Amino acid sequence: MNEYEKRKQAINRHEAGESVTSIVDSLGKSRQWFYNWLKRYQAAGGEGNWFEDQSRAPKTTPTKVTGSVEQQVIDARKRLEKQGIAQTGAIAISYELRNQGIIPPEVWTINRIIARHGLTRDKPRRRSNKEYPELFDHTHQMDLVGPRWIKGDGRFYSVNIIDTCSRTCLAVPVRTKASLGIARVLARFWASHGMPDALQMDNELAFRGSNRYPRSFGIVVRLALALGIAPVFIPVGEPWRNGIIERFNHTWDRHFFRSQIFTGFEHLGQASRQFSRFHNSHHRYSTLGHETPDQMSRKLLPAMRYDERFDLEKRIPLEEGSIYFVRFIRSDCKLHLPTESFRVDQSLKYSYVVAEISVENHSLFIQQNNKIIQTFEYLMPVDW
Protein backbone atom coordinates (compact mmCIF):
# COMPACT_ATOMS: atom_id res chain seq x y z
CA MET A 1 0.00 0.00 0.00
CA ASN A 2 1.50 3.32 -1.03
CA GLU A 3 1.34 6.56 0.94
CA TYR A 4 -1.66 7.93 -0.95
CA GLU A 5 -3.70 4.77 -0.27
CA LYS A 6 -2.89 4.95 3.45
CA ARG A 7 -4.23 8.51 3.64
CA LYS A 8 -7.48 7.65 1.86
CA GLN A 9 -7.98 4.47 3.90
CA ALA A 10 -7.41 6.34 7.17
CA ILE A 11 -10.16 8.86 6.37
CA ASN A 12 -12.57 6.18 5.08
CA ARG A 13 -12.14 4.14 8.27
CA HIS A 14 -12.69 7.25 10.38
CA GLU A 15 -15.87 8.02 8.44
CA ALA A 16 -17.02 4.43 9.15
CA GLY A 17 -16.69 5.09 12.91
CA GLU A 18 -13.34 3.44 13.70
CA SER A 19 -11.32 5.08 16.47
CA VAL A 20 -8.30 7.21 15.65
CA THR A 21 -6.06 5.09 17.91
CA SER A 22 -6.96 1.91 16.09
CA ILE A 23 -6.39 3.52 12.67
CA VAL A 24 -2.95 4.97 13.36
CA ASP A 25 -1.71 1.86 15.18
CA SER A 26 -2.59 -0.38 12.25
CA LEU A 27 -1.03 1.99 9.71
CA GLY A 28 2.09 2.74 11.77
CA LYS A 29 1.40 6.48 11.78
CA SER A 30 1.13 9.18 14.43
CA ARG A 31 -2.07 10.88 15.60
CA GLN A 32 -0.67 14.18 14.29
CA TRP A 33 -0.30 12.62 10.85
CA PHE A 34 -3.93 11.55 10.91
CA TYR A 35 -5.30 14.93 12.00
CA ASN A 36 -3.20 16.73 9.35
CA TRP A 37 -4.83 14.70 6.59
CA LEU A 38 -8.25 14.92 8.18
CA LYS A 39 -7.90 18.70 8.11
CA ARG A 40 -6.81 18.60 4.46
CA TYR A 41 -9.80 16.33 3.63
CA GLN A 42 -12.29 18.58 5.36
CA ALA A 43 -10.84 21.74 3.78
CA ALA A 44 -11.30 20.19 0.34
CA GLY A 45 -14.84 19.05 1.15
CA GLY A 46 -13.80 15.51 0.41
CA GLU A 47 -13.31 16.46 -3.24
CA GLY A 48 -10.29 16.52 -5.53
CA ASN A 49 -6.81 15.17 -4.88
CA TRP A 50 -6.65 16.25 -1.25
CA PHE A 51 -4.47 13.21 -0.43
CA GLU A 52 -1.61 14.29 -2.75
CA ASP A 53 1.53 16.13 -1.59
CA GLN A 54 1.55 19.86 -2.13
CA SER A 55 4.55 22.08 -2.88
CA ARG A 56 6.24 23.53 0.17
CA ALA A 57 7.57 26.50 -1.74
CA PRO A 58 6.41 29.87 -0.37
CA LYS A 59 3.25 31.15 -2.01
CA THR A 60 4.87 34.55 -2.49
CA THR A 61 8.49 35.64 -3.17
CA PRO A 62 9.07 39.16 -1.86
CA THR A 63 12.40 39.57 -3.74
CA LYS A 64 11.17 38.22 -7.08
CA VAL A 65 11.24 40.80 -9.84
CA THR A 66 8.26 41.41 -12.05
CA GLY A 67 8.11 40.10 -15.56
CA SER A 68 8.54 43.59 -16.97
CA VAL A 69 11.74 44.20 -15.00
CA GLU A 70 13.11 40.83 -16.06
CA GLN A 71 12.38 41.67 -19.69
CA GLN A 72 14.12 45.04 -19.30
CA VAL A 73 17.25 43.22 -18.09
CA ILE A 74 17.14 40.82 -21.05
CA ASP A 75 16.57 43.67 -23.52
CA ALA A 76 19.49 45.63 -22.05
CA ARG A 77 21.70 42.56 -22.40
CA LYS A 78 20.69 42.19 -26.05
CA ARG A 79 21.37 45.87 -26.77
CA LEU A 80 24.87 45.55 -25.32
CA GLU A 81 25.53 42.38 -27.31
CA LYS A 82 24.49 44.13 -30.53
CA GLN A 83 27.13 46.81 -29.92
CA GLY A 84 29.71 44.06 -30.32
CA ILE A 85 32.49 45.78 -28.40
CA ALA A 86 30.51 46.47 -25.21
CA GLN A 87 30.68 44.49 -21.98
CA THR A 88 27.57 42.41 -21.29
CA GLY A 89 27.85 41.45 -17.62
CA ALA A 90 25.58 42.39 -14.72
CA ILE A 91 27.45 45.63 -13.94
CA ALA A 92 27.27 46.79 -17.56
CA ILE A 93 23.55 45.90 -17.70
CA SER A 94 22.92 47.88 -14.50
CA TYR A 95 24.54 50.99 -15.98
CA GLU A 96 22.72 50.50 -19.27
CA LEU A 97 19.36 50.45 -17.45
CA ARG A 98 20.27 53.61 -15.54
CA ASN A 99 21.18 55.30 -18.82
CA GLN A 100 17.66 54.40 -20.01
CA GLY A 101 16.13 56.06 -16.94
CA ILE A 102 15.25 52.70 -15.36
CA ILE A 103 16.05 51.87 -11.74
CA PRO A 104 17.84 48.50 -12.05
CA PRO A 105 17.47 45.55 -9.67
CA GLU A 106 20.46 44.53 -7.57
CA VAL A 107 23.48 43.16 -9.41
CA TRP A 108 23.01 39.66 -7.96
CA THR A 109 19.39 39.72 -9.18
CA ILE A 110 20.59 40.63 -12.68
CA ASN A 111 23.04 37.74 -12.48
CA ARG A 112 20.20 35.35 -11.58
CA ILE A 113 18.09 36.61 -14.48
CA ILE A 114 20.79 36.18 -17.11
CA ALA A 115 21.68 32.76 -15.66
CA ARG A 116 18.02 31.67 -15.74
CA HIS A 117 17.86 32.56 -19.42
CA GLY A 118 21.10 30.76 -20.29
CA LEU A 119 23.02 33.94 -21.07
CA THR A 120 26.02 33.38 -18.80
CA ARG A 121 29.48 32.45 -20.01
CA ASP A 122 32.18 30.49 -18.20
CA LYS A 123 34.96 32.62 -16.69
CA PRO A 124 38.58 31.63 -17.30
CA ARG A 125 40.37 30.14 -14.33
CA ARG A 126 43.01 32.26 -12.71
CA ARG A 127 46.35 30.93 -11.61
CA SER A 128 48.35 32.34 -8.76
CA ASN A 129 51.62 31.69 -7.00
CA LYS A 130 52.61 33.53 -3.83
CA GLU A 131 56.28 33.10 -4.65
CA TYR A 132 56.04 35.08 -7.85
CA PRO A 133 57.87 38.43 -7.53
CA GLU A 134 56.05 41.71 -7.98
CA LEU A 135 58.54 44.30 -9.17
CA PHE A 136 56.78 47.57 -9.99
CA ASP A 137 53.49 49.25 -9.06
CA HIS A 138 52.79 51.22 -12.24
CA THR A 139 53.18 48.83 -15.14
CA HIS A 140 52.07 48.67 -18.74
CA GLN A 141 51.55 45.17 -20.12
CA MET A 142 52.04 44.56 -23.84
CA ASP A 143 51.30 41.63 -26.13
CA LEU A 144 51.38 40.88 -29.84
CA VAL A 145 48.25 39.08 -31.06
CA GLY A 146 48.35 37.19 -34.31
CA PRO A 147 48.85 36.48 -37.01
CA ARG A 148 45.24 37.15 -38.07
CA TRP A 149 43.88 37.57 -41.56
CA ILE A 150 41.58 40.02 -43.32
CA LYS A 151 39.71 38.34 -46.12
CA GLY A 152 41.15 39.53 -49.38
CA ASP A 153 43.74 41.77 -47.70
CA GLY A 154 46.25 39.47 -46.05
CA ARG A 155 47.88 39.01 -42.69
CA PHE A 156 48.22 41.40 -39.75
CA TYR A 157 49.11 41.50 -36.04
CA SER A 158 47.68 43.62 -33.25
CA VAL A 159 49.93 45.39 -30.75
CA ASN A 160 47.85 45.52 -27.55
CA ILE A 161 48.89 47.59 -24.52
CA ILE A 162 47.10 48.18 -21.22
CA ASP A 163 47.82 50.24 -18.11
CA THR A 164 47.48 47.92 -15.09
CA CYS A 165 46.46 50.80 -12.81
CA SER A 166 43.73 52.46 -14.89
CA ARG A 167 43.04 49.66 -17.44
CA THR A 168 43.46 52.25 -20.22
CA CYS A 169 44.24 50.38 -23.42
CA LEU A 170 45.44 50.81 -26.99
CA ALA A 171 45.11 48.24 -29.77
CA VAL A 172 46.90 49.01 -33.04
CA PRO A 173 47.10 46.67 -36.06
CA VAL A 174 50.47 46.29 -37.79
CA ARG A 175 51.32 44.38 -40.93
CA THR A 176 54.44 42.66 -39.59
CA LYS A 177 56.19 41.83 -36.32
CA ALA A 178 58.91 44.39 -37.03
CA SER A 179 60.25 45.98 -33.83
CA LEU A 180 60.11 49.51 -35.29
CA GLY A 181 56.33 49.28 -35.75
CA ILE A 182 55.89 48.06 -32.17
CA ALA A 183 58.09 50.89 -30.85
CA ARG A 184 55.95 53.41 -32.72
CA VAL A 185 52.81 52.05 -31.05
CA LEU A 186 54.48 52.34 -27.64
CA ALA A 187 55.56 55.91 -28.36
CA ARG A 188 52.00 56.76 -29.39
CA PHE A 189 50.52 55.27 -26.21
CA TRP A 190 53.06 56.94 -23.94
CA ALA A 191 52.58 60.31 -25.67
CA SER A 192 48.81 60.24 -25.14
CA HIS A 193 48.44 58.38 -21.82
CA GLY A 194 51.75 58.86 -20.02
CA MET A 195 54.69 56.62 -19.23
CA PRO A 196 54.83 53.82 -16.60
CA ASP A 197 57.59 52.60 -14.30
CA ALA A 198 57.85 49.32 -16.19
CA LEU A 199 56.85 47.68 -19.47
CA GLN A 200 55.99 44.01 -18.96
CA MET A 201 55.87 41.60 -21.88
CA ASP A 202 56.51 38.02 -22.92
CA ASN A 203 59.68 36.79 -24.62
CA GLU A 204 58.57 37.58 -28.18
CA LEU A 205 61.65 38.11 -30.35
CA ALA A 206 60.32 41.42 -31.68
CA PHE A 207 60.16 42.76 -28.10
CA ARG A 208 63.66 41.88 -26.95
CA GLY A 209 65.84 42.13 -30.06
CA SER A 210 67.71 39.65 -32.24
CA ASN A 211 69.11 36.17 -31.72
CA ARG A 212 71.90 36.93 -34.20
CA TYR A 213 73.77 39.20 -31.81
CA PRO A 214 74.35 37.69 -28.33
CA ARG A 215 73.43 39.95 -25.41
CA SER A 216 71.94 42.54 -27.72
CA PHE A 217 68.61 44.31 -27.36
CA GLY A 218 66.39 45.95 -29.93
CA ILE A 219 64.56 49.24 -30.27
CA VAL A 220 61.69 48.33 -27.89
CA VAL A 221 64.08 47.76 -24.98
CA ARG A 222 66.29 50.69 -25.97
CA LEU A 223 63.36 53.12 -26.17
CA ALA A 224 62.06 52.00 -22.76
CA LEU A 225 65.47 52.32 -21.09
CA ALA A 226 66.15 55.71 -22.66
CA LEU A 227 62.89 56.95 -21.12
CA GLY A 228 63.65 55.47 -17.69
CA ILE A 229 61.13 52.62 -18.11
CA ALA A 230 62.21 49.16 -16.93
CA PRO A 231 61.60 46.32 -19.43
CA VAL A 232 60.31 43.21 -17.63
CA PHE A 233 60.11 39.83 -19.37
CA ILE A 234 57.82 37.21 -17.81
CA PRO A 235 58.77 33.51 -17.58
CA VAL A 236 58.69 31.50 -20.80
CA GLY A 237 55.48 29.51 -21.19
CA GLU A 238 53.56 31.38 -18.45
CA PRO A 239 51.27 33.84 -20.27
CA TRP A 240 49.01 34.20 -17.22
CA ARG A 241 51.76 36.30 -15.62
CA ASN A 242 50.59 38.97 -18.06
CA GLY A 243 47.03 38.25 -17.00
CA ILE A 244 45.55 41.73 -17.47
CA ILE A 245 46.59 42.05 -21.10
CA GLU A 246 45.63 38.41 -21.74
CA ARG A 247 42.09 39.12 -20.52
CA PHE A 248 42.01 42.26 -22.65
CA ASN A 249 43.12 40.17 -25.64
CA HIS A 250 40.10 37.94 -25.02
CA THR A 251 37.83 41.00 -25.00
CA TRP A 252 39.51 42.32 -28.18
CA ASP A 253 39.01 38.98 -29.91
CA ARG A 254 35.40 38.40 -28.88
CA HIS A 255 33.94 41.90 -28.88
CA PHE A 256 35.98 43.43 -31.68
CA PHE A 257 37.76 41.17 -34.14
CA ARG A 258 35.11 38.44 -34.34
CA SER A 259 32.14 40.81 -34.07
CA GLN A 260 32.49 42.52 -37.48
CA ILE A 261 33.84 42.17 -41.00
CA PHE A 262 36.69 44.41 -42.15
CA THR A 263 36.95 45.54 -45.75
CA GLY A 264 40.72 46.07 -45.53
CA PHE A 265 43.67 47.04 -43.37
CA GLU A 266 42.74 50.74 -43.37
CA HIS A 267 39.20 49.93 -42.20
CA LEU A 268 40.67 47.67 -39.51
CA GLY A 269 42.87 50.52 -38.26
CA GLN A 270 39.94 52.95 -38.03
CA ALA A 271 37.76 50.39 -36.25
CA SER A 272 40.59 49.54 -33.86
CA ARG A 273 40.93 53.19 -32.82
CA GLN A 274 37.16 53.35 -32.20
CA PHE A 275 37.30 50.16 -30.15
CA SER A 276 40.14 51.51 -27.98
CA ARG A 277 38.23 54.74 -27.32
CA PHE A 278 35.02 52.84 -26.57
CA HIS A 279 36.80 50.50 -24.17
CA ASN A 280 38.42 53.36 -22.28
CA SER A 281 35.18 55.31 -21.92
CA HIS A 282 32.64 52.51 -21.43
CA HIS A 283 34.15 49.29 -20.07
CA ARG A 284 33.77 48.99 -16.30
CA TYR A 285 36.10 46.95 -14.12
CA SER A 286 35.19 45.59 -10.70
CA THR A 287 38.81 46.13 -9.62
CA LEU A 288 38.30 49.84 -10.36
CA GLY A 289 35.14 50.04 -8.26
CA HIS A 290 33.07 49.59 -11.43
CA GLU A 291 34.54 52.70 -13.00
CA THR A 292 35.78 53.06 -16.58
CA PRO A 293 39.47 53.49 -17.47
CA ASP A 294 38.85 57.14 -18.36
CA GLN A 295 37.20 57.79 -14.99
CA MET A 296 40.05 56.10 -13.13
CA SER A 297 42.70 57.96 -15.14
CA ARG A 298 41.27 61.28 -14.01
CA LYS A 299 41.68 60.18 -10.37
CA LEU A 300 45.29 59.05 -10.67
CA LEU A 301 48.29 61.32 -10.55
CA PRO A 302 49.13 62.44 -14.10
CA ALA A 303 52.06 60.53 -15.56
CA MET A 304 54.86 62.16 -17.54
CA ARG A 305 54.17 61.92 -21.26
CA TYR A 306 56.57 61.00 -24.01
CA ASP A 307 57.66 64.11 -25.88
CA GLU A 308 58.86 62.38 -29.05
CA ARG A 309 62.46 63.26 -28.24
CA PHE A 310 63.86 60.29 -30.21
CA ASP A 311 63.97 59.63 -33.91
CA LEU A 312 62.86 56.00 -33.98
CA GLU A 313 64.44 55.53 -37.40
CA LYS A 314 67.87 56.00 -35.79
CA ARG A 315 69.60 53.81 -33.24
CA ILE A 316 68.89 54.76 -29.63
CA PRO A 317 72.06 54.43 -27.50
CA LEU A 318 72.03 51.74 -24.84
CA GLU A 319 73.74 53.54 -21.97
CA GLU A 320 72.09 52.85 -18.61
CA GLY A 321 69.21 51.17 -16.84
CA SER A 322 68.25 47.58 -16.03
CA ILE A 323 66.43 44.85 -17.91
CA TYR A 324 64.54 42.26 -15.86
CA PHE A 325 63.81 38.61 -16.60
CA VAL A 326 61.62 36.63 -14.20
CA ARG A 327 62.47 32.94 -14.37
CA PHE A 328 61.59 29.70 -12.61
CA ILE A 329 64.63 27.62 -11.64
CA ARG A 330 64.09 23.91 -12.23
CA SER A 331 66.01 20.82 -11.16
CA ASP A 332 68.99 21.59 -13.43
CA CYS A 333 69.59 24.83 -11.45
CA LYS A 334 69.97 26.83 -14.64
CA LEU A 335 68.75 30.33 -15.36
CA HIS A 336 67.68 30.43 -19.02
CA LEU A 337 67.93 33.78 -20.78
CA PRO A 338 67.05 34.24 -24.48
CA THR A 339 70.47 33.29 -25.88
CA GLU A 340 72.34 31.65 -22.99
CA SER A 341 72.09 29.95 -19.60
CA PHE A 342 73.71 30.42 -16.20
CA ARG A 343 74.09 27.85 -13.44
CA VAL A 344 72.72 29.23 -10.17
CA ASP A 345 72.89 28.27 -6.51
CA GLN A 346 71.17 25.06 -5.36
CA SER A 347 69.12 27.05 -2.86
CA LEU A 348 67.19 28.60 -5.77
CA LYS A 349 65.92 25.28 -7.11
CA TYR A 350 62.14 25.16 -7.70
CA SER A 351 61.60 28.85 -7.10
CA TYR A 352 61.22 32.12 -9.01
CA VAL A 353 64.12 34.52 -9.32
CA VAL A 354 64.62 37.95 -10.89
CA ALA A 355 67.56 38.23 -13.26
CA GLU A 356 68.54 41.89 -13.53
CA ILE A 357 70.89 42.90 -16.33
CA SER A 358 72.58 46.17 -15.40
CA VAL A 359 73.56 48.00 -18.58
CA GLU A 360 76.03 50.46 -17.06
CA ASN A 361 77.69 47.83 -14.82
CA HIS A 362 77.76 45.05 -17.43
CA SER A 363 76.55 42.71 -14.68
CA LEU A 364 73.84 40.11 -14.16
CA PHE A 365 72.32 40.06 -10.67
CA ILE A 366 70.28 37.05 -9.54
CA GLN A 367 67.78 38.20 -6.92
CA GLN A 368 65.19 36.57 -4.71
CA ASN A 369 62.99 38.39 -2.20
CA ASN A 370 64.81 41.63 -3.09
CA LYS A 371 68.18 40.13 -2.11
CA ILE A 372 71.08 39.59 -4.50
CA ILE A 373 72.03 35.90 -4.32
CA GLN A 374 74.59 35.75 -7.14
CA THR A 375 76.38 38.09 -9.54
CA PHE A 376 77.77 37.32 -13.00
CA GLU A 377 79.80 39.43 -15.37
CA TYR A 378 77.64 40.34 -18.37
CA LEU A 379 79.58 42.22 -21.04
CA MET A 380 77.28 43.85 -23.56
CA PRO A 381 77.85 45.27 -27.06
CA VAL A 382 76.05 48.49 -26.21
CA ASP A 383 76.46 50.10 -29.64
CA TRP A 384 76.26 47.18 -32.03
Give the lowest-confidence range in 125-134, 234-243, 248-257, 333-342: 125-134
Residue 336 CB: number of other CB atoms within 10 A? 18
Spatial separation of the C-alpha atoms in residues 169 and 158, rounded to whole Å: 12
Burial class (CB in 10 A: 0-12, 13-18, 19+), 278: middle
- Which pLDDT belongs to residue 4? 85
Assess whether pLDDT exceeds 70 at residue 60. Answer: no
**Pick the residue with more confidence: 20 or 53?**
20
Domain range annotation of the chain: 3-43, 67-116, 133-384
Question: Nearest-CA neighbor of 142 among 156, 158, 127?
Answer: 158
Tell me which range, 63-72, 110-119, 334-343, is most confidently predicted by mean pLDDT: 334-343
Assess whether pLDDT exceeds 50 at residue 129. Answer: no
Mean pLDDT of 275-300: 89
Mean pLDDT of 124-134: 60
Assess whether pLDDT exceeds 70 at residue 253. Answer: yes
**Pick the residue with more confidence: 217 or 126?**
217
Q: Which residues contact 384 (CB under 8 A, 6 or more apart)?
A: 213, 216
Assess whether pLDDT exceeds 80 at residue 65. Answer: no
pTM: 0.69
Tell me which range, 68-82, 260-274, 306-320, is most confidently predicted by mean pLDDT: 260-274
Assess whether pLDDT exceeds 70 at residue 164. Answer: yes
Q: Which amino acid, one-letter code, is at 194?
A: G
Second-level CATH architecture of 133-384:
2-Layer Sandwich (3.30)
188-236 confidence digits (pLDDT tens): 999 998 888 899 999 999 998 878 777 889 999 999 998 888 899 999 9
User: Percent of the chain scored above 70 by pLDDT?
Assistant: 91
Cα 159 from chain centroid (whole Å): 18
Question: Nearest-CA neighbor of 231 among 133, 142, 312, 335?
Answer: 142
Tell me the pairing of strands 230-233 and 341-343. unpaired
Please report which confidence band the pLDDT of residue 43 belongs to, taking 50, 70 and 90 as the band edges.
Answer: confident
Assess whether pLDDT exceeds 80 at residue 173. Answer: yes
- Which pLDDT belongs to residue 361? 86
Assess whether pLDDT exceeds 60 at residue 371. Answer: yes
Mean pLDDT score across all residues of the chain: 85
Mean pLDDT of 280-305: 87
Q: Which residues contact 277 (CB under 8 A, 6 or more apart)?
A: none
Spatial separation of the C-alpha atoms in residues 174 and 204, rounded to whole Å: 15
- Which pLDDT belongs to residue 128? 42
- Which pLDDT belongs to residue 108? 65
